[in-house]
Structure 1
Amino acid sequence: MRSVLMAIALVSLVTVSHAEEIRHSFFVAGPSFTGIIDESGEPVWDSGRPGARDGFVLPNGNVLIAWGNEVKEFTREKEVVFHYAKSEVNQEIGTVQRLANGHTLITELGKEPRLFELNPAGETVVNIVLQPETNNFHMQTRMARKLPNGDYLVPHLLAFKVKQYSPTGEVSRQIPTDLEPLGGRAAENWPFTAIQLDGGRILVTLTHGNKVVEFDADGKVVWKVDNDDIDGRPFVDPCGVQRLPNG
């Protein structure tokens, strides 16, 4: 996926002054490369397997990656120190996130779509049945994230909604992405990544709608960017997004 690449491209095109170039190293889960790119644009760490779904460089320097069938945590020397293989009942893994308490958050897509947490011993300590509103397994969900209050923010592509789930599985909030100001249902604004910002707003990529939108806590659009705003129309199914410290 072009997740982190799209985030870097967005920041570069929207916020960077032409007079002063800003550079970042970054992790990318891409279709032809999954690994780390340095500030000069050169690969410096290659997982050896492209086509990942999600991933993070952890504070200890290890790299946590989700592919469609498994999750692995690597040291920089490529020793695997954590592994999870997809359950037999489901079709795909959608996301991975290492939590502050050491648990690992994972989502699975399939006959029994779910979000769950594993402790460091690999035991399931949280298991939530998701409500994607579709039997199209591949389109049920993507990058889910845990919120500071213990809830979970989960994008559901074909439901055209970002749903907030409690730790016991209740849906406490829904943010629709097929709003008329965004082009309605015809714009195919499938939510792919949803991240809560420090102020409580929600930043969402609407992949097939080729836009990134910021919603307030009530689901009102407060900011967006799409191909009409940027020369060259660079958005082609944007998947991931990240708000950087420099804004």
Structure 2
Amino acid sequence: MTRLIFSFAALLLFCGSTLTADEPIRHSFFVAGPNFTGIIDEDGKRAWDAGRPAARDGWVLPSGNLLIVWKNHVQELTRDKQVVFEYKLAAPNKELGTAQRLDNGNTLITELGTKPRLLEVTPSGEIAVDVPLKPETDNAHMQTRMARKLANGNYLAPHLLAFKVKEYTPAGKVVRVIATDLESLGGKAAENWPFTAITLPGGNVLVNLTHGNKTVEFSPQGEVVWSVSNEDFSNNPFDDSCGAQRLPNGNTVIASYHAKKGIKLTEVNRDKQIVWTFTGPERAHHFQILTTNGKPIQGKPLK
């Protein structure tokens, strides 16, 4: 049985070209997961293996190097696995959550524990910015996940058990809060823990809500403008919606972290139609779609 399952859309746009109904979608992607970390090609085969599993976040950089977050350290690896950048977890914190290579060359890293914080680390390993976080819990593993830097110089951090996505200034002041326990989304009972917080062109924020098995696009003010969940389908494709990516064609790819069998990645369009799924054995905590039908994703990945 094939490891990739495809649905067909009447007309899908990607990178300026048209995919017709008789041309199935094929993606290659980087995956950071509990049982494999590396690159899967468009045929669903392992094209590059980092050599160890259990990564939390990761990127294929423009250079072709891989920026990967493990529990206790962040590494930039060449394709032959030479370490060209590394940051190790600082005591007394317990684990690392995410990383992002910034335009200034620094690397944004989150540390979780007794001193939860966002860090900007220079290429030489020096801490250039240290932003204290307010996750509203002492549970280190649940304090935050996919924090990202904004164009205005602030930072957006999802706080799972607080049911909030918070925007921080470099001084650590919270200047915006997006609540994910809205009654319209099922309230706190739905366990809509925010995991990703992706700022889209135009200012909306795409948030994956893990145990809530929802992906919600909020306005900059925190109003729901679009969402997709298991309630929209009969086969419950989402199982712990952790990582997400918005593609240039407007489609959204969503990871199902808890899924040990069945669908691991699901791509839906704006009309909430499933247009692609990945069902291989590789589970996804986070991921990055790299190509579609042989064409590289254009622009910076929104993930």
Q: CA deviation at 1:231?
A: 3.7
Is the Cα–Cα contact under 8 Å of residues 8 and 21 in structure 2 kept in the other structure? no
| Corresponding position: 1:168 with 2:168 | no
**By how many angstroms is 1:67 displaced?**
0.8
What residue number does 2:221 align with? 218
Q: Relative contact order (C-alpha < 8 Å, sep 6+): which is higher?
A: 2
- Superposition map of 1:4-83 within 5 A: 19-83=22-86
Structure 2-normalised TM-score?
0.76
Contact 2:57 2:98 in 1 (8 A): yes
Gaps of 5+ in 1: 1-7
How many residue pairs end up in the alignment? Answer: 239
Evaluate the alpha carbon distance shift between residue 241 and residue 86 of structure 1 in structure 2; reply closer, same or farther with a 3 A threshold: same
Higher-helix-fraction structure: 1
Unaligned residue ranges in structure 2 (runs of 5+): 13-19, 251-303
Kindly report which structure 2 residues correspond to 1:131-146, keeping only aligned pairs within 5 A, or say none.
Answer: 131-146=134-149
Say which one has the larger Rg: 2
Who is 2:93 aligned against? 90
Instruction: Return the alpha-carbon distance in structure 2 between the equivalents of residues 168 and 139 of structure 1.
Output: 23
Q: Give the aligned partner of residue 110 of structure 1.
A: 113
Superposed structure 1 runs of 4+ greater than 3 Å apart: 11-20
- Calculate percent identity across the aligned residue pairs: 64
Specify the alignment match of 1:190 in structure 2: 193
Cα gap change, 1:125 to 1:13, in 2 (>3 Å): farther
Letter in structure 1 aligned against 2:114: K
Contact 1:13 1:230 in 2 (8 A): no
Instruction: Give the Cα separation in 2 of the matches to 1:124 and 1:13.
Output: 48
Mapped pair 1:245 → 2:248: yes
The structural deviation recorded for 1:169 is 1.0
> 1:229 Cα deviation (Å)?
1.3
* Structure 2 residue aligned with 1:4: none
Q: Give the TM-score, by structure 1 length.
A: 0.93
Larger fraction in strand: 2
